[in-house]
């Protein structure tokens, strides 16, 4: 197993030998937010990018899936590859049907390319509003893309940070598709879970039944951080109330993913086994876990298999 996780050096490397989670994932669980990087020699990084990752290949992603106990992946295009989706699509087409994807596209994309992507397993596009990751894209361009992907039955994934929600609210409200929010809209977890900032996000979901949310990335938001090296596996406690609130309020519109290989992360690299052990702290019943990990992602990404 060790060789499968062997990594390149350079930028803050992903955690090489993740522990085995104690939490046993339900059968057919989906890691609904993860990435591949390169390998750069085969799939070069975008000439204009905000960070350069170390390589993280499809084989390594597939090995991690098995190690943690997931059955499937949703591979999300990362900004370091820009709108060149080849590495992500390569991971889909070599997954034996166990991966679906979310792409980044530009306005000039042709219908034939959209259709080819659909056949390869893409089911959504990602609009990124995080200023440290991307330059500004005009809203009319994004709205035009959203209108086109609606016809394919795809959804829009949005990534933004909590202070920007008021300004983006109207644009998000006008999106004509299912909309999936990355990482709970990046709340500041030093603020109260029932304070005005997170209340606004909860209201946003409540008022928009087409909006889903990934209860992901505690490692990016946590101030308390991972556990000390004392065998304690209850990590990222300060994020749990936020994720738990979303999972319990909107149980049919939440997803979960590892975010492996954790792009652009400063500070510490999470042990993906520990991240999986975070799940029962945010989805505390078997039914909530099953919705979060199996029913919801299958409904969104593999609707043809709906049981
Ligand atoms: C994430 C988070 C980040 C990066 C990206 O596409 C990306 O580069 O998504 C981040 O830096 O917060 O979702 O993986």
pLDDT in tens, 84-102: 999 999 999 999 999 999 9
Quick one: which atom of ligand 1 is closest to the CA of 130?
Answer: 12
Here the tokens at position 15 are 């955690």
* Overall pTM > 0.75: yes
Residues with Cβ within 6 A of ligand 1? 78-80, 133, 182, 220, 259, 263-264
Contact 265, 219 (CB under 8 A): yes
Banded pLDDT at 3 (limits 50, 70, 90): very low
Nearest to 298 by CA among 72, 75, 125: 72
CA angle, residues 157, 286, 71, in degrees to nearest 5? 55
Banded pLDDT at 9 (limits 50, 70, 90): very low
Quick one: which atom of ligand 1 is closest to the CA of 126?
Answer: 6
- Phi, psi angle pair for 100, to nearest 5°: -120, 165
Interval between CA 282 and ligand 1 midpoint (Å): 22
Residue 138 has pLDDT above 90, yes or no: yes
Banded pLDDT at 230 (limits 50, 70, 90): very low
Active-site positions?
259
Residue 228 has pLDDT above 70, yes or no: no
**Which helix (H) or strand (E) is 307 found in, with range?**
none
Q: Which residues contact 221 (CB under 8 A, 6 or more apart)?
A: 183, 184, 186, 187, 188, 189, 236, 238, 239, 242
Banded pLDDT at 11 (limits 50, 70, 90): low
């Amino acid at each position: 197993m060790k060789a499968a996780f062997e990594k390149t050096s350079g930028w803050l490397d992903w955690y090489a030998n993740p522990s085995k989670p104690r939490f046993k994932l339900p059968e057919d669980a989906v890691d609904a937010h993860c990435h591949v990087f390169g390998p750069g020699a085969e799939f070069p990084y975008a000439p204009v990018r905000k960070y350069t990752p170390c390589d993280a290949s499809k084989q390594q992603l597939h090995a991690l899936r098995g190690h943690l106990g997931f059955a499937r992946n949703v591979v999300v295009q990362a900004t370091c590859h820009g709108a060149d989706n080849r590495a992500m699509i390569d991971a889909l087409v070599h997954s034996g049907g166990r991966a679906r994807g979310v792409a980044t596209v530009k306005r000039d994309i042709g219908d034939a390319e959209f259709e080819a992507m659909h056949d390869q397993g893409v089911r959504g596009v990602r609009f990124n509003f995080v200023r440290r990751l991307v330059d500004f894209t005009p809203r009319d361009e994004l709205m035009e893309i959203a209108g086109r992907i609606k016809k394919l039955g795809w959804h829009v994934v949005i990534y933004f940070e909590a202070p920007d929600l008021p300004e983006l609210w109207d644009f998000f409200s006008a999106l004509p598709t299912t909309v999936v929010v990355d990482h709970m809209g990046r709340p500041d977890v030093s603020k109260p879970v029932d304070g005005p900032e997170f209340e606004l996000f909860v209201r946003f979901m409540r008022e928009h039944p087409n909006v889903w949310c990934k209860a992901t990335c505690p490692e990016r938001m946590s101030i308390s951080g991972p556990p000390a090296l004392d065998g304690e596996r209850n990590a990222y406690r300060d994020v749990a109330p936020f994720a738990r609130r979303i999972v319990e309020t909107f149980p049919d519109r939440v997803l979960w993913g590892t975010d492996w290989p954790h792009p652009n992360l400063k500070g510490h690299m999470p042990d993906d086994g520990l991240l999986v052990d975070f799940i029962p702290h945010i989805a505390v019943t078997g039914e909530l876990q099953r919705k979060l990990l199996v029913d919801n992602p299958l409904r969104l990404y593999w609707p043809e298999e709906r049981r």
